[in-house]
Structure 1
Amino acid sequence: MNPVLDIAVRHRLGEFVLAAAFTSNGRLTALFGQSGSGKTSLVNVIGGLIRPQSGRVLVDGEVLVDTARGIILPKHRRRIGYVFQEARLFPHLTVRQNLMFGHWFAPREARHSSDLDAVLDLLGIGHLLDRRPGGLSGGEKQRVAIGRALLSSPRLLLMDEPLAALDEARKAEILPYIERLRDKVGIPIVYVSHSVAEVARLATTVALVEQGRITACGPTAEILSRLDLAMRPGAPEASSLIEARVIGFDAEFGLAKLETRGGSLQVARGSLALGQHLRVRILASDVLVSLAPLTGISALNTLSGTITEIGERSGQDASTLHLRIDCSGDALTVLLTAKSVAALGLAVGNPVHAVIKSVSVETP
């Protein structure tokens, strides 16, 4: 079976060399890295805005670029939707006309009469059809831009920092729609971001981009919790991603009870719904470790598990190191001082208790 994405390209842009290779079968593959690492250049190669000097680009087994065979498919034949940082809507056209602009450029055989209604429902923009872009919020503009890209009937959707120009309120507004797009539409997505919070929430696969190269690629939870990556200069703080389900509420204290493989968690209720499946994120520095169950403490959550890995003392702060704890199949990453590890005599195979404050658990 062919991977959804099979990329191996090399291209020089002045002093910068893009030499990136990875494969992915994820529904949403995040290209994650610092500004200037080459994420946008790589996306532009996939989309046909940059012609690589050498390499290949395959989507679902179809060759878009193979320089060794002389194949460079022009961008208008690649059937790739592109969503930029700015919505780039036509200001003189209504929302309906902007959306249909994408439909007009879809291959005739790929068009469906129900496309528009499905996109309006997916993105919640049906009430905006007769308005012009000047009267839309930033989040509404981006949803229309996503809809226009979808109506071009793409085989792949590229999203280059689509939330970068939005404030926190507008980001919170649009994130659930990107999740729906990931889960309900059978179109793979390549999502560019330098926000670990966005990647942790949205991505099924993460490719780390550093100085023009892919230094790691794999499932999101695995990549964001890797101990060797956490110690690199400029790397995001290690964290754990845990799949959970809402199983109840504590109305008196405004809490939701979550079920995970490792045990139950209590978190702020927010807008969570009973039965909802979600992914929670816990920063490694927000976890305490105890050799015995603790009582008389303010933290509401304790998960029991076994230490499976202890990282090296390295990087900018040699006083700390990371541990990985297996909590019945959920991997929990913890950041401790080397002194604490020594004082507790922690070693691989030790049973421990991980203590987590409710306010430290990040939920959608």
Structure 2
Amino acid sequence: MILDVDIRHQQGAFVLQARFQSDGKLTALFGPSGSGKTTIVNAIGGLVRPDHGRIVVQGEMLVDTRKGIFVPKHKRRIGYVFQEGRLFPHLNVRQNLLFGRWFTPGREREASFDGVVDLLGIGRLLDRRPSTLSGGEKQRVSIGRALLADPQLLLMDEPLASLDDARKAEIYPYVERLRDEGGVPIVLVSHSVAEIARLATSIVTLSEGRVTALGSASEILRHTNLFAQSGPVEAGALIEAKVLRHEDAFDLTVLQANAGALMVPRLDRPIGATLRVRLRARDIILSLKRPEGLSALNVLAGKISSIDDISGPSVDVMLDCGGDSLVARVTCKSVHELGLVPGLSVHAIIKSIAFDPEALGAAKP
């Protein structure tokens, strides 16, 4: 088990009581402000001493209040990346990176300087000062500094929150590569559904200091009720697809998933590349027959696997499309008028808006 957390901690009137385990390459802590996400990562990192409970990372007991165990933060092999880069302004990038080495005895150093530089694409930045870097470049250097301390776990507390969309788009591929190739498990704090859909392998959702759900990203993201605070039906399904071909004449890329072929705006990805695609529940329309005369390019055949209990004006309809699980949020009236029931064959019409830039991730984790 990579991470085992079972803690209770009170700060003023707020009480955190969180219990979860994770073996994911990238575990996302998701929830509204004040739900306890940062308190949890600070407890893991040793910045907060929980009142009660235990924390185990990679089999090492860091906290056990019953046994009086509390490993000081400087003795934990935990890397921490904050919202701001927090680089030393008087040092260049190379010197900032090497600062991470000071926290690890020479005999325990395993991370390769050149390997980390290559992984994060920061080779051309080594002689520059932090003041000359973009926000995305600063965060990549901060991640590199943390990795060069040879951590057992990397904590990232909303590292992209202060970046604009362009800078986020710049850094996403590096976080994906770190997740898949870096060899260090990650705990990511985020309030962005698009971000965790693209990056997370496991998700822990929190509300008012309590864990409300935990599981694989594909499983948790299907439950739209867990993400109500993020806007109407922001969640949905995660599926894996490969680049099948490019249709240059129409500036489109065709992806192949178990559910069928999906057309998206032209992607700069090679044929055969594996992607994660997020299909938002709000972007799926159901039809009893295959539609004709529509501008929508993406129509997937499937069967209804289940329908959530009807309460309120809308309901989640779970679909099995060739082995891929999708979810559509439709009105209760539509369920009644169309006669939607488990086992019924339907067609899922996917709006093109579902394929926004943040919805397309990199290789399968």
Correspondence 1:47 to 2:45: yes
Identity of aligned residues (%): 57
Correspondence 1:246 to 2:240: no
Q: 2:93 — aligned with what?
A: 95
Write the deviation string for residues 91-123 of structure 1: whole angstroms up to 9, x where unpaired: 0011111000001211322214x6110011001
Q: 1:286 — aligned with what?
A: 283
Q: 1:230: how far off?
A: 5.5
User: Which one of 298, 303, 322 corresponds to residue 295 of structure 2?
Assistant: 298
User: Which one of 314, 328, 332 corresponds to residue 322 of structure 2?
Assistant: 328
C-alpha distance in structure 1 between counterparts of 2:120 and 2:230, whole Å: 38
Q: 1:319: how far off?
A: 1.5
Write the deviation string for residues 301-350 of structure 1: whole angstroms up to 9, x where unpaired: 11111111111233xxx221110001122111101111111111000111
- Structure 1, unmatched stretches of 5+, are none
Correspondence 1:264 to 2:261: yes
User: Which one of 312, 319, 325 corresponds to residue 313 of structure 2?
Assistant: 319
Q: What letter is aligned with 1:352?
A: V
Q: 1:24 — aligned with what?
A: 22
Residues 177 and 51 of structure 1: CA distance in aligned 2, closer, same or farther (over 3 Å): same
Q: 2:66 — aligned with what?
A: 68
Correspondence 1:225 to 2:227: no
Correspondence 1:7 to 2:5: yes
Residues 236 and 193 of structure 1: CA distance in aligned 2, closer, same or farther (over 3 Å): farther
Q: What letter is aligned with 2:207?
A: E
C-alpha distance in structure 1 between counterparts of 2:351 and 2:229, whole Å: 27
Does the CA-based 8 Å contact 2:233-2:282 persist in structure 1?
Answer: no
Write the deviation string for residues 248-284 of structure 1: whole angstroms up to 9, x where unpaired: 0111111111111111111111323211101011111
The count of aligned residue pairs is 358
Does the CA-based 8 Å contact 2:193-2:235 persist in structure 1?
Answer: no
Q: 1:227: how far off?
A: 5.3
Q: TM-score, normalised by structure 1?
A: 0.95
Residues 46 and 234 of structure 1: CA distance in aligned 2, closer, same or farther (over 3 Å): farther
Correspondence 1:136 to 2:133: yes
User: Which one of 34, 37, 41 corresponds to residue 36 of structure 1?
Assistant: 34
- Structure 2, unmatched stretches of 5+, are none
Task: Calculate the aligned-residue CA RMSD, in Å.
Answer: 1.5
1:146 aligned counterpart, secondary structure: helix
Q: What letter is aligned with 1:156?
A: L
Q: 1:237: how far off?
A: 2.5
Q: What letter is aligned with 1:333?
A: V
1:69 aligned counterpart, secondary structure: coil
Give every structure 1 segment of 4 or more consecutive aligned residues whose post-TM-superposition deviation is greater than 3 Å.
Answer: 227-236
Q: TM-score, normalised by structure 2?
A: 0.95
Residues 93 and 236 of structure 1: CA distance in aligned 2, closer, same or farther (over 3 Å): farther
